[in-house]
Structure formats: C-alpha cells, structure tokens
Amino acid sequence: MDQKCALVTGAARGIGLATTDLFLEMGWRVAMIDRDGEELTKVAAERDNVQAIIRDVSNPQEVDAMVRDTLAFAGRIDALVNNAGVAEFGPVKDCTFDMWRRVMETNLDGVFLCTQACTDALKETQGAILNIASISGLRASTLRVAYGTSKAAVIQLTKQHAAELGEYNIRVNCVAPGPVKTKLSMAVHSPEIIAAYHDAIPLNRYGSERELAEVICFLCSEKASYVTGQIVAVDGGFDSTGVGLP
C-alpha cells in the first residue's frame, strides 16, 4: 500500500500508454482506464503492476465505479491523468450537434467527472491532477470548432480546480500537446495539415508519445511540488510562433 498509484484514462494506446509505461518505470502502480476493452486487456496483460479497468469517462456511474475499482486495486490514488480524448474535425457548418456532444462528453465532461470523483482520494495523498488539453485549445484554427473549444475549456477547468484544490495541497496542471502521430491524430490530420505542422513547428517534426509522457510524469511527481495551475505546451515551439494552420 506504500507504492504510489496513478490513474490514467485513455491508457490503452497512444500518449496514455506511454504515460503508463513511464509511471511503471518510476516504480508506481497504474490503474489503466479505457472504454476500448479489447485493446486495454491486451496491453495490460503485457505489463506488471497494472489493473485494466474498462470504463467510459463520460458516464458518471462508470466513473464512480472506476474510482472504486482503483481503490480496490491500489488502496490510494496519487495522480489522476485525464488523458482520454476524442477528435472530430470539420467546418463549423458540418459540425452536427451529435458531433459536438461526442467531443464534449469525453474531452470536457470526462475531465470534470473524473476530477470530482477522485478528489476525496487525492486529498488523502495530497496528490496531483494532470489534464491533457491541446495546442488547439490555445490557438484557434479552422476545422476544430468542437475539439478546440473542448480543449480550451479543459485549460480553464485546470485553473478553476487549481484555485479550489490548492488548500488540500492537490496540484492541478495541464499539458497541451502539439501533434503526435497516434490513432487519434492520424484519423483527422490530412496530408495538408501534416505538411503545415512540419513547416510551422520550429523543431520541424511531430512529437513522440514518450516526449509527452516525460512532462506529464514530471508534473505529477514531487519534483514539481510548487507547480500548480500551469498550462505547459509540449509542442516543439509551435505555440510560440503564431504561425497559422489550415
């Protein structure tokens, strides 16, 4: 029970899986949450010190069950990584209400619900919350009316929670990734967007899942004990340039 435990949502692949692996290297246990049961079960079976918990972060009852399952597994929660996300791109006129809701339910409602449900456990450990937003939440560009708005709201939620939970010594920070080649991004990045990113990013490349995980785990660790309410762009310098995207 002395071993620290991270609860990582969207852990079956991509940035969430890389974050899981880095927590394991740090000696933590990880409650791996995902609604994709097949992929989650497979990757969890390949790792020690993890528990696969098949839940949907946009459903309040499932989120409560997710916390119960995590506490049954590890007895504590030291870090909550709100990473589960979906992306759907399209012009404003083609953004149906169903599409808008799908994006908001996971990207925004999920962060709100998981944070609320984990707060009591995090008070016990004086733990940390790390939200994953996006450079699309920092900068407006075409096609991202739902996605960008959901991520801008996650940035504000980070500041709200940091202001309110500081008195319990719970730190709340946010990482805003630039582009990383994952299933999520490759489904919505056209060849035009990929080329534009390479030109617009000072480091002239996509980031890797591991480069994101390094900053996520640092902000969840004791090394960042005086950091809260911060939005850290891990984006190869993209946000510093002001260069636009298609």
Residues near ligand NAD (CB under 6 A) are 9-10, 12-16, 34-36, 56-58, 83-87, 106, 110, 132, 134, 177, 179-180, 182-185
The CA distance from 116 to 54, in Å, is: 19
Please state, in angstroms and as integers, the Cα–Cα distance from residue 204 to each residue in 45, 61, 201, 246, following that order. Answer: 36, 43, 5, 16
The least CB distance from residue 133 to ligand NAD, in Å, is: 7
In 105-208, where does DSSP find H-type helix?
110-125, 145-165, 183-188, 191-200
Structure tokens at 165: 């939970």
Residue with Cβ nearer ligand NAD (170 or 193): 193
Quick check: is 226 catalytic? no
Shortest CB 203 distance to ligand NAD, Å: 14
CB of 86 to ligand NAD, least distance (A): 5
Between 169 and 230, CB nearer to ligand NAD: 230
Task: CB nearer to ligand NAD: give 5 or 175.
Answer: 175
- 49 contact partners, CB below 8 Å, separation of at least 6: 3, 24, 28, 29, 30
How near is the Cβ of 134 to ligand NAD at its closest, in Å? 4
**Which residue matches tokens 């000696």?**
27
Question: Which listed residue (147, 168, 197, 206) is catalytic?
Answer: 147
Q: How far does Cα 234 stand from its chain's mean position?
A: 13
Round to whole Å and give the CA distance between 234 and 242: 15
Closer CB to ligand NAD, 180 or 245, in the complex = 180
Residue count of the chain, please give it.
Answer: 246
Say which amino acid occupies 24: L
**Catalytic machinery residues:** 147
